[in-house]
Homo-oligomer: A and B are copies of this chain.
């Protein structure tokens, strides 16, 4: 098997969620889970996330820390037309490039607003990009996302972000997607902790996560086996299932 002889290149991405509304608790973030799921299909692993305030220094610090140690960096939020939308300026400053008016963005927005009151001064803010950027199509609401180097600057509103991700599908180089297999037991995870540990140890290249819960008045846990190698994941799944059943625990396929 290829994966056994040569270690695979793992492609990673980071996400910076930009917005006071997340840090104040007003808005429940949805972009972490949305991006994570999408990235996995592209064969890219979401390695780390930061949530930062609408502040130039906070955005810049996170951008420069994460862009160099990941293959890709995504940001969500702060690209609208209002005064609190400072993502473009902050990223340009972090990269040491000027902000320019992007001709293609202007053309897109002029078309988009032609029947919607025209491209006002506020709306024209959304034609600004760091110099050297290209655009990410926005099929939902006009103003495009922005790509500069390995940075992808996306909307904050999750369904607009979804449209931008859709436009990027299949365009980023990645490795094999991580597959996951889930099983569940009505058991306290502490009762099977040693068994989980040894199952993980016996299958190099597999990570097993244990996620306990309390539901319907009973204690249970789901066990998630993750690996870029589907054969290995399945082998580990069979092994762990057999071990759990040998220990007297009924195993529920696909989790509880």
B23/A47 in contact, CB under 8 A: yes
A83/B36 in contact, CB under 8 A: no
B46/A224 in contact, CB under 8 A: no
A214 contacts across to B, CB distance below 8 A: 141
**Given A25-B40, A141-B214, A212-B157, also A123-B46 (CB < 8 A):** no
Does A26 reach chain B (CB closer than 8 Å)? yes
Does A180 reach chain B (CB closer than 8 Å)? yes
A24/B180 in contact, CB under 8 A: yes
A53 contacts across to B, CB distance below 8 A: 47-48
Does A84 reach chain B (CB closer than 8 Å)? yes
A224/B157 in contact, CB under 8 A: no
* Interface members, chain A 99-157 (any B CB < 8 Å): 116-117, 120-123, 125-126, 141, 157
B52/A20 in contact, CB under 8 A: no
* Interface members, chain A 19-67 (any B CB < 8 Å): 19-30, 32-37, 40, 45-54, 58
| Nearest opposing residue in chain B for A38, CB measure | B25
Does A228 reach chain B (CB closer than 8 Å)? no
Size of the A side of the interface (Cβ < 8 Å), in residues, is 67
Does A243 reach chain B (CB closer than 8 Å)? no
Does A173 reach chain B (CB closer than 8 Å)? no
Does A213 reach chain B (CB closer than 8 Å)? yes
B84/A209 in contact, CB under 8 A: yes
Does A207 reach chain B (CB closer than 8 Å)? yes
Counted per complex, copies of this chain come to 2
* Interface members, chain A 204-230 (any B CB < 8 Å): 207-214, 224, 226
**Given A49-B50, A83-B196, A193-B82, also A25-B29 (CB < 8 A):** no
A32/B22 in contact, CB under 8 A: yes
Contact of A80 among B22, B49, B191, B210 (CB under 8 A): B210
Can you list 25 contacts pairing A with B, beta carbon distance less than 8 Å?
Answer: A17-B49, A20-B207, A20-B226, A21-B209, A21-B211, A21-B224, A23-B36, A23-B48, A25-B35, A25-B40, A26-B180, A27-B211, A29-B32, A48-B50, A49-B51, A54-B207, A80-B190, A80-B210, A82-B189, A82-B196, A83-B197, A84-B210, A120-B190, A121-B193, A141-B214
Q: A81-B189, A83-B208 are in contact. List 5 more A-B contacts (CB 8 A).
A: A20-B226, A23-B45, A24-B36, A29-B29, A48-B53
